[in-house]
Amino acid sequence: MSNVLLAVTGGIAAYKTLEVVSVLRKRGEKIKVIMTEEATKFVAPLTFAGVGNCPVYVDAFKTDQGNIIHTTISQWADLLVISPLTANTAAKLHYGIADNLVTMVALAFNGPKIAVPSMNVRMYESPATIRNISALREDGWSVVEPASGHLADGEYGKGRYPDVSDVISEIDRMLSPNDYEGVNVLVSAGPTREAIDPVRYITNRSSGKMGYELAKAARARNANVKLVSGPVSLKAPYGVETINVESAREMKEAMLDNLNWADVIIMSAAVADYKPAELSSQKIKKTADELNLKLVKTDDILLEISKNKLPNHFVVGFAAETQELMENAKKKLQEKSLDMIVANDVSRKDIGFDSAFNEVKVICKNGEIIPLQRNEKRFIAHNILDIVKSHRIKIS
């Protein structure tokens, strides 16, 4: 649990910060909000207080139980997020102007800082704003780039508030340890689709959530991350190079193409075991009472990775099973020469496929078994990375 200080300035995107506050509150972070007077014209302080169940400060010259607000809050916070960052506030921070509570706190704060610029496209692209935001980067600010699209004033261009999940991802990165800095992590996620004809395919129920959380967790810990993803309905993780594939063959090629780049390979995708022996070039019509499909095995991606494994590689597999979980997982660990395998009981309805929760057993090459109790997949992902880090050190 961290102390996160949200600083809101006077832009129409101020209401988007309510979503950020809501997510952080649900996750159990300690929150305080500071606002400029201009920001209160867009969203009332009471609204932030209600959504965040947190104190909200606006007047820089009021005292809080005898304390000077801008100095005490700047010492309280683990992270400062200015959301949205207006062109006006960016200019003030560049030149060290402290004329409201937000700018006072920003100048007094010595910890990690995130800026989320959002404004009219012409304001954002003006030379002055470009210089000011560039100066913030040089001063150590992490800047979450605005999105492009339709703006509140009817124009189109770059300046929209980014996806809230991108802001949360950057908050996670700033609050997480940098223990994977310089490590290249290659993750596979989601199902594969094996085509029957132009409109039908064989697939499975994997949502890709576990793999995506692993990619996000690795990126949060400052790893360089590539994600090879089968077809899912999830947004590509912020700051992660995502390679989209469909079939098992495409996934194998993408994984092997990036194998030499990687230090850690986590194969969490649910790859189809079989595919149709023949692909019909036209849609198969519903004429006969029965349709018999001949299926053949797909390529064994983990086995191919094992064959091409380098001394620096640490390979993690997943075993999604509905019976004899540990026996099947241990067999897979040995047959594929893995360093670690994550045993996942997908017969349960409260974890696994389509769920935000998981409960797994991690089996290590040395025989150690580490149970990870039911938790959100984002926490399970960090637990798995903790174990990977520990065992990479032991074998390196």
| Catalytic member of 204, 222, 258, 328 | 204
**204 among known catalytic residues:** yes
Find tokens 């920001």 and name the residue.
39
The helix or strand, by DSSP H or E, that contains position 51, with its residue range, turns out to be: helix 45-52
CA pair distance 111, 252, nearest whole angstrom:
42
Contact, 11 vs 86, CB < 8 A?
yes
Which amino acid does the sequence have at 148?
A: S
CA pair distance 108, 114, nearest whole angstrom:
15
Contact, 155 vs 115, CB < 8 A?
no
Q: Which residues contact 88 (CB under 8 A, 6 or more apart)?
A: 9, 10
CA pair distance 218, 314, nearest whole angstrom:
14
Tell which residue, 378, 318, 374, has the closest CA to residue 349.
374
Length of the chain: 396
| Three-state secondary-structure class, residue 84 | strand
Catalytic site positions: 204
